[in-house]
Structure 1
Amino acid sequence: MKNRKALLPLAVLAAGVLTLSACGSDSGDAGTGGITVPDIPMATEIGEGEGEVNIVAWAGFVEDGTTNPDADWVTAFEEETGCMVNRKVGATSDEMVQLMRTGEYDVVSASGDASLRLIAGGDVQPLNTDLVPNFGNLVEGLKGQVYDTLNGKSYGVPIGRGANVLMYNTEKVTEAPDSWAPTWEADSEFAGQVMAYDSPIFIADAAVYLMATEPDLGIENPYALDEEQLAAAVELLKKQNEIAGEYWNDALKAVSSISTGTASMGTGWQVIVNLAQGDGGPVEAVLPQEGATGWSDTWMVHAEAKNQNCAYQWIDYASAPDVNASISQNFGMAPANELACEGSEANIAHCETFHATDEEYYENVWMWTTPVEQCIDGRTDVTCTNYQQWTEAWTAVKG
C-alpha cells in the first residue's frame, strides 16, 4: 500500500482549519493550543426505531422510485423497519458539511474531502461496527482508511469508491493516452480543450502528477503538502488554467462536453464515461501511468442524531449486498460490499468495469482525504497545509 493504511492519530477542526496532534486520549482532552476533540460516545445497542431517519446524500444514493421507478430500495427499508426516510440531496461536500452542522440530519454520505472535517469537528460519532453486520463483508481496501478512521475508531461505513480517470473523446484524441501530460503541459496539442475538476481537492491531482515528474519536491502523499509543495502544485495548476477550456463540477455537463468534443480530454469519473458511451458518445477512459486521485463515500451518523436507531438500521440495510449493488450501479461506482459483485451477470459486469475488488488497480489511486496540518505522510519536521489554505490557493488558481 502506498499511503492509505496509516491511521491519523488525532484530528481537530476549529474555525474551518484542521489541526492534528500526535497523541490522543479517551477523555477528548488531547489537543494543542487549547483545541480538543470531543469525546463522543459510541452506541452499544440498537433500540426500537424512532419512526424516521433524516439523510443528506448524493443524488442516486437514497432512492424511493420517484426519480426512476427501477431504482427503489427505500420503500422496502421503510416497510421492514418502520423508519420513514426523509432525504435531502447534497450538491457538494461543502454543502453536506454545512447541513450536518445544523443538527437536522441523522446520516450523511460523506466523501473523503468532507469526512475528516466532520470527524474532527465533532459533528459525527464513532460507529460500533458490531451493530453493522454487513461491515464484515466490505472489501479490505476500504476498511480503516485515513479519511474515515481516527484513533482506531471507525466513523464511517464505506458505500463505494471510484477513480478520477483520464477520459477523452476518441474523435479528437486518436491515439489512446497513457499519461496526464497533455492535460498539464503548456505545449499540449489540446490546449483550450482540456477539462478539469472544479474543487480545491483538485490540487491533489496536480500533486500526483508532480510526484511522478518532479520527484525532487519530495511529495509522498498528494494530500500532505508543505508550503513549498503546495506552491509547486499551484504553479502547475496556473499553467493548466491557461490551457483549460472549462472546469466542471456537474457530471451531466461533463458528459455533454466530452461527448460533443467541446472538451477533448480531462479528469472525469467512470460513470461520466458510461453515460457518454450510453448516449453514443465517442468516449474512453484510462488510469494513467502516474496514477490518479479518487473518492470513497461513507455513511456517517450525526454526533447527536435524533434518530440514531433508525440511522444504524439504514446503514446496515444500505450495506447489504443487494442494496449496495443497487446503489453502486445506480450512481456509478465500485460497491463496498464484495458480495455485491456476486450473483447476477449485471453485478459481475459492473464490478469488473469499476474494478471493485481489484486492489492492485486501487493501489495507484489516492482517495480524497482532507488536507490537515499534521503531515499524514509521517513527516514531523514540517507543518503541512490545510483545507483552508487549499481553498485560498484554489481561488488564486481560478483568478
Structure 2
Amino acid sequence: MPPATHRVVLALLAAAALSLTACGASGGGSGDDAATTLGEKEGSVSILARPGYVEDGSNQPAVDWVSPFEKDTGCTVTSTIYDTSDQAFNLMKSGEYDVIAASGDASVRLIDAGILAPTNTDLIPNYAGIYDYLKMQPWNSLDGVAYGVPHGYGANLLMYNADVVSPAPTSWDVVFDKGDAYSGKVTAYDSPIYIADAALYLMTHRAVLGIQNPYALDTDQLAAAVTLLTEQRGNIGEYWSDYRKAIQSFESGDAVVGTTWQVIANGLADGFATEVTVPSEGVTGWSDTWMIASGAKNPNCAYAWLNYIASPEANGQATGFFGQAPSSQAACEFRSAGSCGAYHAGDADYASTIWFWVTPVADCLDGRSDVRCTDYADWTAAWQQITR
C-alpha cells in the first residue's frame, strides 16, 4: 500500500452550511470544522459522480437505488456525470454540487483547495461497517481527519483479445516495450494519472531509476516515464476515459490489448474472446470516496446521502452494478453470488498490493526529503506533451 503522506493545507468547512453547527467535534475522525449536529433536510441534493454511480431507473428500470433514498428522506437527487478526475475537479470548483464521488487523483486536490468539508463520521451510522483498510487513507483523510465515506475500489487491469494476442501476456511489457506487435490497437487510460502505470512498470524494468512509489517521481524519474509513454504513443489506437467507449473499442476490434476496468470486461457482449489479468509488475487502482462540498447548499441531505449509499443494500447494488469491490462485507449479501470473491472484497492483503490513485505532490510520498517530487501540475504538462 502506498505510504500515507502529510499535507499542510487544511480545507475549511464553509459557514454557509446553514443548518449544520460547526464546532469542535470528538471521535469518528472528525476535525474542528466538521459538523456536530444535523438539521432539517433541505429537500434536495446535487451529486457529481462517474457513470453508473447514481442510478434512478431511467437508464435501466430495474437498476434504481436513488428512488428509495428520495422516498425515505424527502431529498430529491439531481446528478451530473463526469468522465475524468480533471473534469470533476473543475466542476466542483463551480460550487454547484453538494456531494462528489471522487477518486484519489481528485480528492487530494479538492481537499487542499478547500473545496471539501471534513466529515463527522459519528453522524453517519453506516460508516462503522466499512472495511477498516479503506478508512483514513491518504486519499480520503488529512491529519487524522476523515474527508468522506469510502464507496468501492478496483484495479486497473490488463485486458487482451485472446484470439489476437498470443501468447497470453503476463507483463505490462505487451503495451510498453513489446507494444509494436499490436501497433494501432493498444489502448490506455486518458489521464495524467496514467503516468503512474508507466512508473510502476519502470519500478521493475528500470530499477536503476530508484522509483519506490509510482506517485512519487522526481524530475529524472518523471522524464523516464514520459519517454516510455511517448514511445508507447505510436502504438496507441485510442486513449479512453469513458468506460463505455472502451467497451465499444474492444467489440469493434479497434483495440486488442490495454488497460481496463472489470466493468469493461463485464460489459462486453457475449462471444468476445477477451481475458483479464493482473500482470507481474502489479497494478494501480482506485478507491472512490463520497465527499461533501465545503460550501454545500444542502448539507443535511448530503449527510443523508453519505449514510444511505454506505448502507449494505445501496452499496451492494451500486458497486455490483459498476463492477468493483464494495465497501463493507455486509454489502456482499446484496451482490450476485461469487462477485465479492471475484473482486477480493474484504481481502486487506490483496488491497495492499494495489497502488491506489493518489495525487502526486511536491513533498515526496515515498518519504524522501532531499529532493522535490513532481506534482500534479507537472504531470498534467507532461501528459499534454505525450498525447499532443
Q: TM-score, normalised by structure 1?
A: 0.89
Match of 1:223 in 2: 215
Give yes or no for the alignment of 1:214 onto 2:206: yes
CA separation in 2, counterparts of 1:245 and 1:56? 30
Give yes or no for the alignment of 1:358 onto 2:312: no
What number of residue pairs does the alignment pair up?
A: 371
Aligned with 2:177 (options 185, 200, 208): 185
Following TM superposition, where does structure 1 have runs of at least 4 consecutive aligned residues deviating by more than 4 angstroms?
none
Q: Structure 1: give runs of 5+ residues left out of the alignment.
A: 14-25, 28-38
Quote how far apart the aligned CAs of 1:131 are: 1.0
In the alignment, residue 213 of structure 1 is paired with which amino acid? Answer: H
Cα-Cα RMSD: 1.9
Match of 1:368 in 2: 357
Give yes or no for the alignment of 1:349 onto 2:348: no
Match of 2:374 in 1: 385
In the alignment, residue 144 of structure 2 is paired with which amino acid? Answer: G
CA separation in 1, counterparts of 2:207 and 2:344? 28
Q: Among all aligned residue pairs of Structure 1 and Structure 2, give the percentage whose two residues are the same amino acid.
A: 48
Q: Is the 8 A contact 1:186 1:243 kept in 2?
A: no
Q: Is the 8 A contact 1:260 1:281 kept in 2?
A: no
Q: Is the 8 A contact 1:172 1:261 kept in 2?
A: no
Aligned with 1:315 (options 292, 295, 306): 306
Q: Is the 8 A contact 1:56 1:87 kept in 2?
A: yes
Match of 1:330 in 2: 321
Distance 1:43 1:12, change over 3 A: closer
Q: TM-score, normalised by structure 2?
A: 0.91
Q: Is the 8 A contact 1:335 1:356 kept in 2?
A: yes
Report matched runs for 1:89-168 at 5 Å: 89-168=81-160
Aligned with 2:191 (options 194, 199, 202): 199
Of residues 370-379 and 260-269 in structure 1, the stretch that sits farther from structure 2 once superposed is 260-269
Aligned with 1:297 (options 277, 280, 288): 288
Residues 197-247 of structure 1 deviation map (CA, whole Å, 9 limit, x = unaligned) = 111110000000001111121111111111111001001111111222221
Give yes or no for the alignment of 1:235 onto 2:209: no
Give yes or no for the alignment of 1:265 onto 2:257: yes
CA separation in 2, counterparts of 1:54 and 1:114? 18
Give yes or no for the alignment of 1:54 onto 2:34: no
Aligned with 2:248 (options 240, 251, 256): 256
Quote how far apart the aligned CAs of 1:188 are: 4.0
SS of residue in 2 equivalent to 1:184:
coil
CA separation in 1, counterparts of 2:5 and 2:304? 27
Match of 1:10 in 2: 8
CA separation in 2, counterparts of 1:321 and 1:88? 24
Quote how far apart the aligned CAs of 1:163 are: 0.3
Q: Structure 2: give runs of 5+ residues left out of the alignment.
A: 12-22, 25-30
Residues 51-110 of structure 1 deviation map (CA, whole Å, 9 limit, x = unaligned) = 111111112111211111111111111111111112122232222212221111110111
In the alignment, residue 396 of structure 1 is paired with which amino acid? Answer: Q
Q: Is the 8 A contact 1:7 1:144 kept in 2?
A: no
Of residues 313-322 and 346-355 in structure 1, the stretch that sits farther from structure 2 once superposed is 346-355
Distance 1:69 1:190, change over 3 A: same
Aligned with 2:68 (options 67, 76, 91): 76
SS of residue in 1 equivalent to 2:234:
helix
Distance 1:243 1:118, change over 3 A: same
